[in-house]
Amino acid sequence: MKILSIQSAVAHGHVGNSAAVFPLQRIGVEVLPVYTVNFSNHTGYGAWRGPMIDPSDVREVVTGIEERGVFPQIDAVLSGYQGGEGIADVIIDAVARVKAANPDAVYACDPVMGNAKSGCFVAPAIPVLLRDKVVPVADIITPNQFELGFLTGTEPSDLQSTLASVDAARAMGPSTVLVTSVERPDCEEGTIEMLAVDDKGAWLVATPQLPMKANGSGDVTAALFTAHYVSTGDAKAALERTVSSVFDLLQRTLDSGDRELQLIESQEFYAHPRLQFTARQVR
């Protein structure tokens, strides 16, 4: 499998492509990383150095890959944090060109914009661009519950309203939706859930909620789910493998006391997920 991954990059720590590439490689995926920023560290520190990459330069890199004749071999395009406003058009164009070369290729969009606790942390124009231009051309999207609500103009708060919001998102274009953090009043105390929905049904899986905030965990989640789903076509299996790997990554990070994901130290959890969590069909 080959994935063209258009995301941010950091030298220190693991977010964007710096979080997504290695887990994908560890499960046998050939990744073509294209960078949208090249920062010293993620912006959660409040200070960073390095450039946002001009959309024209990102487009040039994509074009260079196309000129090598690689596009027919690409199985998926993956995008995450977009940085500047102009990146959306570059991604949409890249998706169209990849699909022209390989009609079976899919586009997986992680519509990164914020979360329920901190609100939006991207430029004000980005959520609107994601909603109006990017998500409609995606096949797979991986929002958290907050992002799902913004994209659909809804307020998902329990399982039924979250499923309704997913249906609204699927009506926009994507056939497959992974909601990466479902929080609802009637879930088991101390747990957090993940929901995957496609044409075949909807599956929900619960894990213990760890007392931590880990930048980059959503990027790992989107990458692994995309790869597992594209390779199997099975949302339940993809969900269970992804949740298993990401939970163990987060647990190891928590145990380490380090702020940054223990991405390399956790590599066996990607290659050989323990499958300790079972997803149940909810529709």
For residue 105, pLDDT beyond 70: yes
What is the reported pLDDT for 118?
64
Q: How sure is the predictor about 186, in pLDDT bands with cuts at 50, 70 and 90?
A: confident
Side-chain-side CA neighbours of residue 73 (13 Å): 12
- Measured CA to CA, the distance from residue 91 to residue 79 in angstroms comes to 8
For residue 122, pLDDT beyond 80: no
Percent of the chain with pLDDT over 90: 89
- Measured CA to CA, the distance from residue 270 to residue 281 in angstroms comes to 24
- Measured CA to CA, the distance from residue 259 to residue 154 in angstroms comes to 33
Cβ neighbours, 10 Å, residue 61: 17
What pTM was computed for the model?
Answer: 0.96
- Measured CA to CA, the distance from residue 109 to residue 81 in angstroms comes to 9
Q: What is the mean pLDDT of residues 61-70?
A: 98
The tens digit of pLDDT for each residue in 40-58 reads: 999 989 999 999 999 999 9
- DSSP letters spanning 75-140: -EEEE----STTHHHHHHHHHHHHHHH-TT-EEEE----EETTTEE-S-THHHHHIIIIIGGG-SE
